[in-house]
Amino acid sequence: MSFDRVLTRLTLEQKIAQLQGLSPYELIAQTAPTEIPDDLDLSVGIPYDLSRVAAVRPHGVGHLSLAWTLNPDLDRLRCDLDRFREYAREVNPLGIGTLVHAEAVSGLVHEQADQFPTPWGQAATWNPELTFLLAQHAARQARTVGVQLVFSPVLDIARDPRWGRAHETYGEDPELVTRMGLAFIRGVQGIHNDSGVRATGKHFLGYGASLGGLNQATTALGRRELRDVYAEPFRRAIAEADLTLIMNSYNDVDGIPAAANAWLLRELLRDELGFDGLVVSDYDSIAMLWKTHRTAASPAEAAIAALTAGLDVELPGASMTAGLADAVHAGEISEQLIDDAVRRVLHVKAELGLVPDISPRTRLAPTPPAVGADALALARQIAGGALTLVKNDGVLPVRPGSAKIAVTGPAADEIRIHFGAYSSVANAELPMAMGQIMAGAIPGVEASMEVFTDLFQIRLPGIAPLFETAARRLHPHSATLVNALQAIDPGVTYHPFGNIEIDDVIDEAALAAAVGDADIVIAAVGERTGWVGNHTAGEGRTTADPTLPGNQTALIQALHLGLTLFGGHRVRRLVPSD
């Protein structure tokens, strides 16, 4: 059967369903959206009701967004996804399967999935082979639970230290970003594209170069620089790694939002770079045309603008594309434009064995097991390779017991700081934060069920200790810097000075008394990256001051260190030296 034949057998509504996502939050079992059930316990997962699939998507489920959130237990997630498919099968036309999405930039995002250093740390190894192995492992875990698509890698060029998502990228050099990105894509998809999982290049385009380092702002770059620098990793990924999915960015270029920018999505991406694959929306970027950019007067107009510009799929839900059928009947958009987008969806699905009677061009290989011990060894290898010694004035190496070593700084005795925004730890923090807000446990924040919209923006005073406890629970074998040093040299002492969040005055007298007789002082400083809470970096967490947060600069100065050196992924911003 051909794709054209499939299209002729689909109703208009069924075609549109192939261009829409389904967010698990639409399946939450609750009778009144504003009422908080007395027995609600988000620590065991969000109460989804999978039987609601037919009610919320009667014409079929094209895509399942945020699939990893269905269950915090990895084995039960696989079972829940199997159950979801049973419900989706009842409404999916012609047996077409649902494309199940997840994230995997530092390993599959799930509380029980294996985790690795962030892309920033991976890039510091200058070893694409390690990123290939990381991506290969993440893809195996993804396919084992029933995920066929990961929204990774991030191919953005990060040159503004104020931008909160720099740690998700492979850095500022287009060649390094390209090589690491190619390795990730090949690791996910398999050398012969036979892994059963597809990668997604994001964010197209110039996302990390927005004014002020803001998350959803204007990118003031000329077309030559956009082509030659920022589009280069995408061009190479399309040509050399068979990248077949791309996600748009939240920014606007030359005053036109990326989600409705025909020059970006059609002229540059398809005509110049030769991309013939599927373009999916970053979450709610189509809705932003209506709500934020105000370039569309209605949800339907936003959907029409996006599809006309070259965007194919709305994610995570369907709030904007819900009116497309009426728009077709009214002559506001041609059905041919929708057919073209659906054809691209079907092509991706067919390559993953999700379209009956259309076999993948490459036979899908069996999925080897994802061995946890191998992942741990790989993670340690990446972390070791990411360590960067900028300068050594003869202090290193230090033999255990040969010097009195004092350790200080807020990053020295913390597990949470080692994990980025797209990680098991950050994911576990979402329901924790939601539960605290719903319970009225956050000072100054009203208890409410409707928390998701503002969850990423509001501060959550007092929640950091809960997050640290969760990180230690999820990763009991991880060691803090202090733990690791004391395991080598029991004589190492720790002195808790400095704060990542609060700019308190450093008690210099107490600091001097604590570390004054040490031969070597190790100051562990940095910033926390995450989605919710009081993290100092992450998606939507821009800073106007690209220095260490809190009072860490004052701590370094109090220690009389003229120059502070950083390595790995924990710190991405510079501290001015005296």
Residue 32 within any structural domain of the chain? no
Instruction: Provide the domain limits for residue 559.
Output: 389-576
First to last CA, the chain: 70
Same domain, 22 and 163: yes
Q: What is the pTM of this model?
A: 0.93
Q: Are residues 394 and 289 in the same domain?
A: no
Of 16, 29, 118, 102, the C-alpha closest to 62 is: 16
**Which phi and psi (to 5°) does residue 142 adopt?**
-65, -50
Q: How confident is the model at residue 443 (pLDDT cuts 50, 70, 90)?
A: confident
Residue 346 in this model has a pLDDT that exceeds 80: yes
Whether residues 315 and 398 share a domain: the answer is no
Give the pLDDT of residue 29: 73
For residue 109, pLDDT beyond 50: yes
Model confidence pLDDT, tens digit, residues 520-562: 999 999 999 998 888 888 887 888 888 899 999 999 999 985 3
Is 41 part of a structural domain of the chain? Answer: no
Q: Which of 245, 271, 84 is nearest to 151 (CA)?
A: 245
Looking at the fold, whether 68 and 202 belong to one and the same domain comes out as: yes
Instruction: Judge if 335 and 394 occupy the same domain.
Output: no
Burial 499-517 (b: 16+ CB within 10 A, else e): bbbeeeebeeeebeebbee
- Of the candidates 180, 116, 104, the residue with the CA atom closest to the CA atom of residue 143: 104
Segment 221-231 shows an average pLDDT of 96
Q: Quick one: average pLDDT of 75-98?
A: 97
Mean pLDDT of the residues in the chain: 90
Same domain, 213 and 71: yes
Q: How confident is the model at residue 99 (pLDDT cuts 50, 70, 90)?
A: very high
Task: Tell me which residue of 523, 504, 508 sits closest to 575, measured CA to CA.
Answer: 523
Q: In this structure, is the dihedral angle defined by the CA atoms of residues 355, 360, 363 and 364, taken in order, positive or negative? A: negative
405 and 325 belong to one structural domain: no
| Beta bridge pairs of residue 493 | 406
pLDDT tens-digit readout, 169-210: 999 999 999 999 999 999 999 999 999 999 999 999 999 999
Which residue among 304, 323, 352 closes a domain?
352
pLDDT of residue 40: 57
Q: Characterize the bridge pairing of strands 278-280 and 405-408.
A: unpaired
104 and 185 within one domain: yes
Q: How far apart are CA 384 and CA 165, in angstroms?
A: 23
Nearest to 296 by CA among 280, 320, 264, 277: 320
pLDDT digits (tens, 9 = 90+) for 271-320: 999 999 999 999 999 999 999 999 999 999 999 999 999 999 999 999 99
The reply to whether 384 falls in a domain is no
The CATH number of residue 212's host domain is 3.20.20.300
In a domain, 54, yes or no: yes
352, 381, 398 — which closes off a domain? 352
Within-domain flag for 379: no
- CATH number at 497 reads 3.40.50
Residue 38: what pLDDT?
58
If one counts every other C-beta atom within 10 angstroms of the C-beta of residue 546, the result is: 17
pLDDT of residue 462: 81
pLDDT grade for 39, boundaries at 50, 70 and 90: low
pLDDT of 572 over the 80 cut: no
Amino acid at 238: I
Query: Does residue 92 have a pLDDT over 90?
Result: yes
Instruction: Indicate if 342 and 483 belong to the same structural domain.
Output: no
Q: Is the pLDDT of residue 504 over 60?
A: yes
- Whether residue 253 is contained in a domain is answered as yes
> Are the CB atoms for 246 and 268 separated by under 8 Å?
no
> 3-class SS at 485?
helix
- Residue 4 lies inside a defined structural domain of this protein: no
Residue 165: inside a domain:
yes
The verdict on 320 and 420 lying in the same domain is no
3-17 per-position pLDDT tens digit:
999 999 999 999 999
User: Token digits for 571?
Assistant: 């710190």
Tell me how long the chain is: 578
pLDDT of residue 574: 33
Rounded to an integer, what is the distance from CA 283 to the centroid of its chain? 11
Q: What is the rounded distance in angstroms from the CA atom of residue 444 to the CA atom of residue 437? A: 10
Q: Is 549 exposed, middle or buried (0-12, 13-18, 19+ CB in 10 A)?
A: buried
Nearest CA to 423 out of 70, 43, 117 is that of 117
Final residue before a domain boundary, out of 333, 352, 371: 352
Q: How many independent structural domains does the chain possess?
A: 2
Residues 412 and 264 in one domain: no
Rounded to whole angstroms, the Cα distance separating 411 from 430 reads: 22
User: 256 is written with which tokens?
Assistant: 């036109």
Alpha carbon 50 to its chain's center:
25
Tokens describing residue 113: 């999935």
Share of residues in the chain with pLDDT > 90 (%) = 77
Res. 41 pLDDT band, cuts 50 70 90: low
- The answer on 441 and 308 residing in a single domain is no
Which of 263, 169, 262 is closest to 207 using CA atoms?
169
What does the DSSP assignment read for 81-117? Answer: HHHHHHHHHTTSGGGPPPEEEE--BTB--STTS----
Q: Residue 363 is which amino acid?
A: R
Residue 567, pLDDT > 50, answer no
In 249-316, beta strands by DSSP E: 252-253, 256-257, 278-280
Read off the pLDDT of residues 398-421 as tens digits, 9 standing for 90 and up: 999 999 999 999 999 999 999 999
The order of strands in the sheet holding 201-204 is: 201-204, 245-248, 278-280
Alpha helices in 90-189 (DSSP H): 119-124, 128-145, 174-189
